[in-house]
């Protein structure tokens, strides 16, 4: 790896025009995936050529630059991050960055049966696993190529590996899996893990379902859950947009990520790095800076890279503008962005 140069008096924090400190980076390390979830991808996706995506070494350098600028938490995501060759080594390297408090991962769970223990050793503290249903046929219908049993085995392997926290992420779509919400919470309770419900976001053009028709709000989910569970509001935040409730009498927390019905932008502390090295300042806007270009044009110069990141804070928008009833203005898929 090239030696990196840093100016000693460079700023060590990222603060945007609205006074928000950015200390959380999400990195999409691949746009590829072994699943084709119908809200996330088209069935016949075209993936990016290798030269267009960041190398593992570039990703590491970027992670290091962000950590030096005060980023304390990095989430590795994708696409399916664990299908990228060398993912485990990358996680080990990022996990060894001293100033980082938290290295976390979002995965579809398909590789966890064999990789969970290695990920724990690499320093991954918390893990989010996507699971939208416990019905094998529905699971196949939603993921198009996924196998429920494989993911359930991955969840068991993660429990054995002993992560600080395991959380299920479920995207709820009306008439596809909205009747599953109670089962999913019961599954989380039985396994002593947490769960977040996510409202679908209009990212990328998808076929096979209409997003406005499929919209199922967090409030509807809460009403459904109230029939079986007592949810106690908590002030707790985990550095993300979820509002958390505790399931009474259990250790399980239930989170709601509601980009449509609630606006969580005023406390936004995060930015995203796409698989192509584009720094996205907001999930719901196109404001971005091409850090791949910066890193490739100034090989090894950490000062230039860090300055580009600091300057990028000036274009972080105040809030996102999602409208589920319109064709997406955001044409990139969640898999490129890193959900
Ligand atoms: N492949 C991994 C997974 O599925 O967990 C990581 C990447 S995936 C893009 C991250 C999260 O984004 C998943 O929980 C997925 O359900 C969610 N997601 C994908 N497309 C979405 C959309 N259009 N709206 C809301 N959530 C979405
Ligand atoms: Fe793959 Fe995750 Fe997108 Fe599903 S949500 S297609 S698992 S990247």
Ligand 1 midpoint to CA 117 (Å): 23
Question: Average pLDDT, stretch 54-81?
Answer: 97
Ligand 1 midpoint to CA 301 (Å): 34
Please name which ligand lies nearest the alpha carbon of 172.
Answer: 1
Q: How high is the pLDDT of residue 317? A: 82
Best probe residue, ligand 2, of 32, 36, 37 (max atoms within 8 Å of C-beta): 37
Highest mean pLDDT among 149-158, 168-177, 293-302: 149-158
CA dist 241 and 105 (Å) reads 16
Q: How high is the pLDDT of residue 329? A: 47
* Pocket-forming residues, ligand 1, beta carbon under 6 Å: 33, 39-40, 77-78, 80, 106-108, 130, 169, 171, 198, 200-201, 203, 334-335, 339
Ligand 2 midpoint to CA 40 (Å): 6
Q: How high is the pLDDT of residue 9? A: 54
For ligand 2, whether the C-beta of 41 sits within 6 Å is yes
For ligand 2, whether the C-beta of 201 sits within 6 Å is no
pLDDT band at 337 (very low <50, low <70, confident <90, very high): low
- Domains located in the chain, CATH noted: 14-337 (3.20.20.70)
Residue 3 has pLDDT above 50, yes or no: no
Residue indicated by tokens 């390390």: 29
When the pLDDT of each residue in the chain is averaged and rounded to a whole number, the result is 88
Ligand 2 midpoint to CA 108 (Å): 7
Q: What is the pLDDT of residues 257-289, one digit of tens each?
A: 876 655 667 888 899 999 999 999 887 677 789
Q: What is the pLDDT of residues 24-50, one digit of tens each?
A: 999 999 999 999 999 898 888 899 999
Q: How high is the pLDDT of residue 239? A: 54
Ligand 2 midpoint to CA 253 (Å): 23
**Relative to the CA of 169, which ligand 1 atom is closest?**
14
CA 118, 120, 121, 123: dihedral to nearest 10 degrees? 130
Residue 204 has pLDDT above 90, yes or no: no
Residue 1 has pLDDT above 50, yes or no: no
Q: How high is the pLDDT of residue 2? A: 43
For ligand 2, whether the C-beta of 198 sits within 6 Å is no
Q: What is the pLDDT of residues 213-252, one digit of tens each?
A: 788 989 999 999 999 999 999 877 655 566 899 999 999 9
Q: How high is the pLDDT of residue 299? A: 85
């Amino acid at each position: 790896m090239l030696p990196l140069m840093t100016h000693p008096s460079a700023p060590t924090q990222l603060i945007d025009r609205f006074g928000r400190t950015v200390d959380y980076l999400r990195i999409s390390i691949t746009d590829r995936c072994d699943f084709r979830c119908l809200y996330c991808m088209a069935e016949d996706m075209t993936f990016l050529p290798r030269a267009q995506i960041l190398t593992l070494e570039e990703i590491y350098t970027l992670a290091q630059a962000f950590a030096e600028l005060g980023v304390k938490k990095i989430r590795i995501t994708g696409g399916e991050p664990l299908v990228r060759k060398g993912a485990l080594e990358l996680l080990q390297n990022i996990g060894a960055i001293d100033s980082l408090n938290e290295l976390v991962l979002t995965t579809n769970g398909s590789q966890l049966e064999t990789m969970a223990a290695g990920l724990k050793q690499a320093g991954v503290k918390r893990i989010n696993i996507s699971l939208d249903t416990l019905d094998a046929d529905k699971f196949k219908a939603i993921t198009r190529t996924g196998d429920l049993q494989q993911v359930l085995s991955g969840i068991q392997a993660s429990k054995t590996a002993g992560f600080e926290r395991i959380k299920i992420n479920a995207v709820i779509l009306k008439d596809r899996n909205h009747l599953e919400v109670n089962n999913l919470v019961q599954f989380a309770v039985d396994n002593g893990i947490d769960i977040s419900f996510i409202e679908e976001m209009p990212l990328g053009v998808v076929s096979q379902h209409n997003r406005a028709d499929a919209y199922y709000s967090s409030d509807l989910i809460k009403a459904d859950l109230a029939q079986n569970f007592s949810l106690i509001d908590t002030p707790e935040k985990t550095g993300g947009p979820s509002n958390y409730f505790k399931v009474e009498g259990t250790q399980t927390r239930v989170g709601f990520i509601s980009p449509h019905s609630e606006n969580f932008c005023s406390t936004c502390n995060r930015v995203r790095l796409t698989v192509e090295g584009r720094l996205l300042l907001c999930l719901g806007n196109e404001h971005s800076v091409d850090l791949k270009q910066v890193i490739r044009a100034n090989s090894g110069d950490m000062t230039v890279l860090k300055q580009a990141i600091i300057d990028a804070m000036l274009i972080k928008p105040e809030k996102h503008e999602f409208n589920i009833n319109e064709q997406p203005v955001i044409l990139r898929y969640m898999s490129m962005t890193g959900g």
